[in-house]
Amino acid sequence: MGTAVVVGSGPNGLAGAIRLAQAGLAVTVVEAQGRPGGGARSSELTVPGVLHDECAAFHPTGVASPFLASLRLDRHGLRWSWPEVDLAHPLDDGRAGVASRDLHASVATLGEDGERWRRTFSPIVRRFDDLMGEVLQPVVHLPRHPVSFGRFGAKALLPATWASARFRDDPARALFMGAAAHAFGRLDTPLTTSVGLLLAASAHAVGWPVAEGGTEAITRALLAELAELGGRVVTDFCADSLEQLHDLVGGRPDVVLLDTAPAGARRILGDHLPARVRRGLTRFRYGPAAFKVDLAVEGDIPWTNETCRRAGTVHLGGTAEQVAAVEKDTARGRMPERPFVLLGQQYLADPSRSSGPVNPVYAYAHVPHGYTGDATDAILGQVERFAPGFRDRVLAVSTRGPAALETYNANYVGGDISAGANTARQLLFRPRPTLDPYWLGIDGVYLCSSATPPGGGVHGMCGFNAAERALRRLGVG
């Protein structure tokens, strides 16, 4: 039996560890923090009994992930729960763009743009499983569904600003642009339409569910699966070198997976890295940051738009033009007065997170990389903008700015929770221009974090893909 060490216990690290253990390797996962999970952890951050997701919160890619689905994690207690409405994007005039698993109902809310929205998303929704099988791999691969993938790719190449302009009225335009804004960067650049298409389509195809009992339930299920396969996890272990990992398992392991940012991989591997790989990782760019605010709120948020009161996720940024403008400012290092805010009402789908009438509210704003200011008031202001009287219902506040997010998870360099800028170049080739994005040029050593394809999200596919690459090289199935 071979041996493997995985550095980092986020969803990608655990997915990679499970795949290696399935193939018969003896797997040890090391984690610098005292609790495993990376961005998939949950805690009582405000008042006792009110449970907050610490980073990852909504899981369209989790429920759509081929590898996670294959594990049948329901055996370990994982349950998905959906809100009545998956996504809403309110406007100052009281209207809102709405997306839910019922595409027809969503179309009916979009007025004159309804039919155009249907024509845009129906083909993607019909072939959603096939498409996810393609996009959850490196972009350069031999597709199993070339027609579907090719049609999607032709649309995905456009800037999101161009795609949103195809709609005539503000609700549809803003709804699409808010989904595209998950790219954490400028929306007037090529390929940003891809993010909007995938996330909006996922709302219609599989929804944006939460994990019952908090996102940490995903981590617990993955840990249980790994333990069932004989793997072990060592916490409070800060990996500093390859030699340290060798000592941990009593010799050189057959496989090392690094669920780390490229900067972390450079630190651990040091002089072992070939010069060409080091240059590529050094050029890796990080993107804008998040500023996170968790709130304990008495009752529900008093949204002006009634549909927002039933939505699990609410995007706060105004019109499509306003969202594009503030995202451009943020990417250029300027803090906007009204930043784009993603707000979560997970308790609507999972009431177990609340304590009596006190509910957890999750929110983060897009802010410049490494931002050192306090965006709390700007975030609360964006909520108040669309829900007058909201501030009066806030009982407690917990905040994490970019520096605190990086302390919480070293992969969030400068507060970048996407683990890398989603520029056109890095959407196509991450973490560096190569046809082998996981291998680090050292025999048996691979990168498996969200800095590798397919990028961010609790889907485990970066870890699975890296593990598959390692097993092929070992000749193990």
Whether 275 is covered by a domain: the verdict is yes
Measure the CA–CA gap between 398 and 295, rounded to whole angstroms. 6
Which residues, other chains included, contact 342 with Cβ-Cβ below 8 Å and sequence gap of 6+? 182, 313, 314, 315, 316, 363, 364
Residue 142, pLDDT score: 66
Whether 403 is covered by a domain: the verdict is no
- Tell me the pLDDT band of 131, cut-offs 50, 70 and 90: confident
Whether the ω angle into residue 454 lies within 30 degrees of 0, i.e. cis, is yes
Which residues, other chains included, contact 407 with Cβ-Cβ below 8 Å and sequence gap of 6+? none
Higher pLDDT, 229 or 131: 229
Whether pTM exceeds 0.85: yes
Whether 259 is covered by a domain: the verdict is yes
- Tell me the pLDDT band of 210, cut-offs 50, 70 and 90: very high
Residue 20's CATH number: 3.50.50.60
Whether 360 is covered by a domain: the verdict is no
Whether 463 is covered by a domain: the verdict is yes
Domains: count for the chain? 1
The mean pLDDT of 398-414, rounded to a whole number, is 96
Place of tokens 């193990």: 476
Whether 229 is covered by a domain: the verdict is yes
Quick check: 429 pLDDT over 90?
Answer: no
pLDDT digits (tens, 9 = 90+) for 59-115: 999 999 999 999 999 999 999 999 999 999 999 999 999 999 999 989 999 999 999
Which residues, other chains included, contact 70 with Cβ-Cβ below 8 Å and sequence gap of 6+? none
Residue 461, pLDDT score: 95
pLDDT digits (tens, 9 = 90+) for 379-395: 999 999 999 999 999 99
Quick check: 351 pLDDT over 70?
Answer: yes
Measure the CA–CA gap between 476 and 1, rounded to whole angstroms. 11
Quick check: 141 pLDDT over 70?
Answer: no
- Decide if 258 contacts 467 (C-beta within 8 A): no
Q: Which residues sit opposite 182 in a β-bridge?
A: none
Q: What is the mean pLDDT of the chain?
A: 94
- Tell me the pLDDT band of 157, cut-offs 50, 70 and 90: confident
Burial of 357 (C-beta count, 10 Å sphere; 0-12/13-18/19+): exposed
Quick check: 219 pLDDT over 80?
Answer: yes
Measure the CA–CA gap between 426 and 433, rounded to whole angstroms. 8
Residue 136, pLDDT score: 79
- Domain of residue 7, residue span: 3-53+212-285+419-474
Whether 298 is covered by a domain: the verdict is no
∠330-153-122 over CA atoms, to 5°?
Answer: 95
Residue 347, pLDDT score: 98
Q: Which residues sit opposite 162 in a β-bridge?
A: none
Quick check: 154 pLDDT over 90?
Answer: no
Measure the CA–CA gap between 442 and 463, rounded to whole angstroms. 18
pLDDT digits (tens, 9 = 90+) for 310-334: 999 999 999 999 999 999 999 999 9
Query: Which region among 27-41, 133-147, 253-267 has the lowest average model confidence (pLDDT)?
Result: 133-147
Residue 476, pLDDT score: 80
Burial of 299 (C-beta count, 10 Å sphere; 0-12/13-18/19+): exposed
Whether 38 is covered by a domain: the verdict is yes
The mean pLDDT of 240-247, rounded to a whole number, is 93
- Closest to 362 measured CA to CA, from 39, 100, 33, 80: 39
